[in-house]
Amino acid sequence: MSSLYLPGSSWLHRVSGGLKLGLLAFVGAALMWVHDWRLLMLALVGASLLLWQTGVSFAMVWSRLQSLFWLLLALMLYTVVVQSAEQAAVVGLRVTTLMLGALVVSVSTSISQLMSVVLWLLQPLERLGWVNTESVALAFGLTLRLIPELSTQWYDIREAQAARGLSANPLTMAIPMLLRTIRRAHEIAEAIDARG
């Protein structure tokens, strides 16, 4: 799972990254005002159809959203206890729709396109001398690129410890994860320095 982007020729791949990010932000804000589970169900069906249009398989979707699914399930159970089952359904449908929408953008938009959007958005600030847009765009692109890699490292560490008969202890997982992340950051910093 080195990157969320999947090259393709669907119409979603041809839509500009800026438009997709803008629509995602607009829909995300609009969904916060929707409290009817039926409307949220329609939005979820729409997001699912868009994701299907990208050509991504169900197995790939599950591999990318599996950890978020368990977190969402815990949030819904908490909402059932604190509020009601209907409110938990609203929360679950809203968050799932947002996750699928974000996945549609991630799967159909390359990191270079997203970096171009960041450069365009930050141009007014660069004219004022407040930011260096290229540095911010590079940091943004590296962050997007490394999030899936960190997830892969976490699963590798967990599998290695399970093979040794060790239980999944957060402390024993965190230390190797931290060391691997620091080593990877050094490698990336050296590669950037080597390229000037």
Q: Is the pLDDT of residue 2 over 60?
A: no
Q: Are residues 94 and 124 in the same domain?
A: no
Q: Are residues 84 and 102 in the same domain?
A: yes
Residue that terminates a domain, selected from 109, 137, 169:
109
Q: Decide if 123 contacts 46 (C-beta within 8 A).
A: no
| Single pTM value for the model | 0.68
Domain assignment of residue 2, yes or no: no
Answer with the residue of higher pLDDT: 159 or 150: 159
What tokens appear for 42 in the block? 């329609």
Look at residue 46 in the predicted model and tell me its pLDDT.
Answer: 94
Number of domains in the chain: 2
Residues 168-174, mean pLDDT to the nearest whole number: 72
Same domain, 74 and 49: yes
Residues in the chain: 196
Residue 48 has pLDDT above 50, yes or no: yes
Asked whether the predicted pLDDT for residue 153 surpasses 80, the reply is no
Same domain, 55 and 84: yes
